[in-house]
Amino acid sequence: MSEAPSKLRLDKWLWQARFFKTRSLAAKVIGGGLRVNGQSIAKPAFAVGPGDVLTFAQGRDVRVIRILALGERRGPAPEAQALYADLDPPKARVPDPSLPVAEAGGRPTKRDRRIMDRQRDRLE
């Protein structure tokens, strides 16, 4: 039997832990700015192992993750969640009270839609 590796490529680990749908998306995030143990990393081939702390942006959230184990494959979600500990779980999003809300009566009007689009662009 082969022994489990003590280190694994960062992009491969992020993909196996199901943070990103593809390895190329993981590599793009790594190139855009990811920290391992407080040190900025720009290469997807950087080797990580159990005990390392990762800090990276995922969508609008900043994730802080401690690696607990290295995976052998990209398995189901419960198996992937066993690979890490979330040190700063994402908070539930509270809707912004300044954004217009469609009435319960149906779809927003064209004017309402334009207002929502303008405010969404202002937030991003």
Which of 11-15, 98-102, 119-123 is the least confident region? 98-102
Q: State the pLDDT at residue 1.
A: 45
Q: Are 82 and 101 members of one domain? A: no
Measured over the CA atoms of residue 46, residue 9, residue 34 and residue 124, the dihedral's sign is: positive
Q: With respect to residue 46, please indicate whether it lies within any of the assigned structural domains.
A: yes
Q: How many domains does the chain divide into?
A: 2
Q: With respect to residue 3, please indicate whether it lies within any of the assigned structural domains.
A: no
Rounded to the nearest integer, the mean pLDDT of the chain is 86
Which of 4-8, 23-27, 54-58 is the least confident region? 4-8
| CATH code for position 63 | 3.10.290.10
Q: With respect to residue 2, please indicate whether it lies within any of the assigned structural domains.
A: no
What are the pLDDT digits (tens) for 34-69? Answer: 999 999 998 999 999 999 999 998 887 888 999 999
Q: Tell me the residue range of the domain where 51 lies.
A: 8-86
Q: Are 43 and 26 members of one domain? A: yes
Q: Which of 14, 30, 2 is nearest to 67 (CA)?
A: 14
Whether the predicted model's global pTM rises above the 0.85 cut: no
* Residues in contact with 98: Cβ distance below 8 Å, sequence separation at least 6, in sequence order: 119
Calpha distance 49→38 (Å, rounded):
15
Amino acid at position 102, single letter: A
